[in-house]
Chain A
Amino acid sequence: MTGVRVLVGTKKGAFTLTSDGKRGDWTVDGPHFGGWEIYHINGSKVDPNRIYASQSSGWFGQVIQRSDDGGKTWTTAGNDFAYQGEVGDHLWYDGTPRPWEFKRIWHLEPSLDDPDTVYAGAEDAAFYISRDAGQSWKELTALRQHKTGPSWQPGAGGMCLHTIILDPVNKDRIFIAISAAGAFRSDDGGESWLPINKGLRSGEIPDEDSEVGHCVHRIAQHPTRPDTLFMQKHWHVMRTDDAGEQWTKVSGNLPSDFGFPIAVHAHEPETVYVIPIKSDSEHYPPEGKLRVYRSRTGGNEWEPLTKGLPQSDCYVNIYRDAMAVDTLEECGLYFGTTGGQVYHSADGGDSWTPIVRDLPGVLSVEVQVLP
């Protein structure tokens, strides 16, 4: 392995951070698309030179960018994210029906097999696929037209489809999550969807056993255990071992089980990472201490990882798409903060170092291992 490339989306542009396999010295390149919000930037697993970026602004709307040379140059791809067929209504914050309205792409997930195929998750929640490297997009309508769709309501950040997991074993299986509808699974490549929210408990909704309405913040999977998923929910860290048929709370001894991102160690399927955040409204680390928590037991028993992280006066947040793991032999972890820091660990979380400290607020972090 020659190195890693960290892809950082921020509120004012995209950045790439590159290093060799030792991950000691870093080169920072950017901003790309300066002044635009980059909700997500993600690379192909089969062609690391192929990178997709979701670029948006309140003035100019949604743009998709594609690089074919590892982020050196970029080409504007397609941005026609039309809802197919009858648009229909979902519920607004005040409980009234409101037509679906496209706002932006939150997440781009390149295919595991084909660099020209990429999936996109939208706000208002919809699921798109492109088979021509982002030039054209087709909505896979079964998700938005699910029978529960009219009852979906946005979370505070919007009704966003923010998580897409393509199952590496069962190629027809896809997991997605929507705030605040919940998690869904497709076993037929997106042609139909099943809500997978049993066991989630959400005090924010009147019926905690509701099929939908749960504010799922992020889901993570280890590729060798595709039926085991870990979830950071609005409150509670959860796990399932049957592809979402039943969830179990594994928050254990966390100082707060509110948070946004969650990640699984690249080589240890029972080692999980979260970053506890104080809530309901503060959204900064408890006690002003930025701590990643690691469980080596698949949840319930958590240890704080603090070496190299600020342990006083730290009041940043870490968004749901802003943590990633690399697949080098010594698993590396990365996360970005609303304060513009990108921290990394080259030893599975035991110690941390900032790669950069003063970027715009970080919206997303992904990492590529370069051949």
Chain B
Amino acid sequence: MIRVVLPAHLKNLAKVTGELQLDLAEPVTRDAVLDAIEARYPMLRGTIRDRQSGKRRAFIRFYACEEDLSNDPPDTPLPKRVVEGDEPFIILGAMAGG
């Protein structure tokens, strides 16, 4: 079970509370997680990745296991502790703006 933490604004948009839980076949990659999120919550399409290019939006960051995975290739397998549900995959808005 993959655990995902969304930023508060996206929780509101998706009308969810707490962590998301996803069942995914291995290899579990960042894009596989985002594909699953967008399939379940289509209102989040375009809010994490650009709708046309598929690239991470500039002020979105991906953290897990105290590591910044934001700039890893999107098909990189996620850490084992995330895949096994011991640690969440964290999506957050970077500190920016006012």
Contact = CB atoms under 8 A, between A and B. Distances in A.
Interface of A: 35-36, 57-63, 76, 79-82, 102
12 contacts: A35-B9, A36-B9, A58-B96, A59-B60, A59-B93, A60-B10, A60-B48, A60-B57, A63-B43, A79-B46, A80-B46, A80-B51
Interface string B37-75: 000000101111011100001011000000000000000
B1 interface: no
B16 interface: no
B24 interface: no
Contacts of B7: 59
Contacts, number: 45
Interface of B: 7, 9-10, 13, 43, 45-48, 50-52, 57, 59-60, 93-94, 96-97
B96 A79 contact: no
Given A35-B9, A57-B9, A82-B52, A76 B60 contact: no
B47 to A, nearest CB: 4
B51 A82 contact: yes
Given A58-B59, A58-B96, A58-B97, A63 B50 contact: no
Given A58-B59, A61-B47, 11 more contacts: A36-B9, A59-B59, A60-B47, A61-B46, A63-B43, A63-B46, A76-B43, A79-B45, A80-B45, A81-B51, A102-B52
A59 B43 contact: no
A76 B10 CA distance: 12
Contact of A62 (B46, B93, B96, B97): B46
A99 to B, nearest CB: 11
A76 B47 CA distance: 12
A79 B9 contact: no
Contacts of B9: 35-36, 57, 59-60
In this complex, which of A35, A59, A63 has the most chain B Cβ atoms within 10 angstroms of its Cβ? Answer: A59
